[in-house]
């Protein structure tokens, strides 16, 4: 890991304040996949708009000299939420008996990868939360498995699989306690 560049972390609870910056960073982060319908910027914008209206929405963005370089966002999920319903096997009750936070997206521009920026954004986001657990879904093939391994190194464990839509690959559902 190289030395982290000077970044400023900003937290947002309203999508209107940050939507443009999220779309800009997403477009660069996912550039190699944008030809796939589920990864198109328009599809991300639709997901983002839906997630931005869900309970407990929060986004954390990293800026360098006013330029957005990374982001994470998530929201509260409760027992019976479709997030849990699509999962196989069903999650253990200890994860769903109280609300949890779903980390819906995290991304860092290529020039800021391997600098600790993603971890700083992640930690800043979960520091805003009162829920006992944070969950995320990851494509186990992303980065030839490196993304999944990174989340494991952050304390996440596999608890099942989910395929949010027919256009998406089967994702690994991971969870960790918020300390």
Helix (H) / strand (E) element for 90: namely none
Q: What is the mean pLDDT of residues 25-41?
A: 81
In a domain, 56, yes or no: yes
Q: Is the dihedral of CA 128, 26, 136, 167 positive or negative?
A: positive
Structure tokens at 36: 């796939």
- Please give the torsion angle defined by the CA atoms of residues 93, 161, 104 and 62, in that order, rounded to the nearest 10 degrees: 110
Q: What is the pLDDT of residue 2?
A: 54
**pTM, rounded to two decimals:** 0.91
Domain-embedded: residue 3: no
Number of independent structural domains in the chain:
1
pLDDT in tens, 134-165: 999 999 988 889 999 999 999 999 999 999 88
Domain of 173, CATH number, reads 3.40.630.30
Question: What pLDDT sits at residue 30?
Answer: 85
Predicted pLDDT at 31 = 79
Domain residues for 52?
Answer: 8-177
pLDDT of residue 116: 92
What pLDDT does 5 receive? 59
Separation of alpha carbons 178 and 167, rounded Å:
31
Comparing C-alpha atoms, which of 93, 91, 100, 103 is closest to residue 162?
91
Instruction: pLDDT band for 21, please (50, 70, 90 cuts).
Output: very high
The pLDDT assigned to 179 comes to 72
Q: What is the pLDDT of residues 40-99, one digit of tens each?
A: 888 889 999 999 999 999 999 999 999 999 999 999 999 999 999 999 999 999 999 999
Tell me whether residue 48 is in a domain.
yes
1 within domain boundaries: no
Summarised one tens digit per residue, pLDDT across range 109-138 is 999 999 999 999 999 999 999 999 999 999
């Amino acid at each position: 890991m190289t030395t982290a560049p000077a970044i400023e972390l900003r937290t947002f609870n309203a999508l209107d304040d940050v939507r443009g910056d999220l779309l800009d960073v997403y477009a660069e982060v996912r550039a190699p996949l944008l030809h796939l319908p589920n990864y198109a910027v328009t599809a991300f914008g639709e997901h983002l708009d839906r997630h931005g209206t869900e309970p407990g929405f929060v986004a954390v963005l990293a800026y360098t000299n006013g330029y957005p370089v990374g982001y994470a966002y998530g929201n509260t999920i409760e027992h019976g939420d479709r997030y849990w319903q699509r999962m196989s096997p069903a999650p253990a009750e200890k994860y769903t008996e109280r609300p949890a936070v779903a980390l819906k997206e995290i991304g860092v521009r290529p020039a800021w990868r391997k600098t600790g920026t993603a971890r700083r954004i992640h930690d800043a986001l979960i520091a805003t939360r009162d829920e006992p657990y944070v969950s995320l879904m990851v494509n186990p093939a992303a980065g030839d498995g490196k993304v999944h391994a990174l989340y494991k190194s952050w304390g996440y464990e596999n608890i099942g699989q989910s395929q949010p839509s027919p256009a998406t690959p089967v994702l690994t559902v991971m969870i960790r306690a918020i300390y």
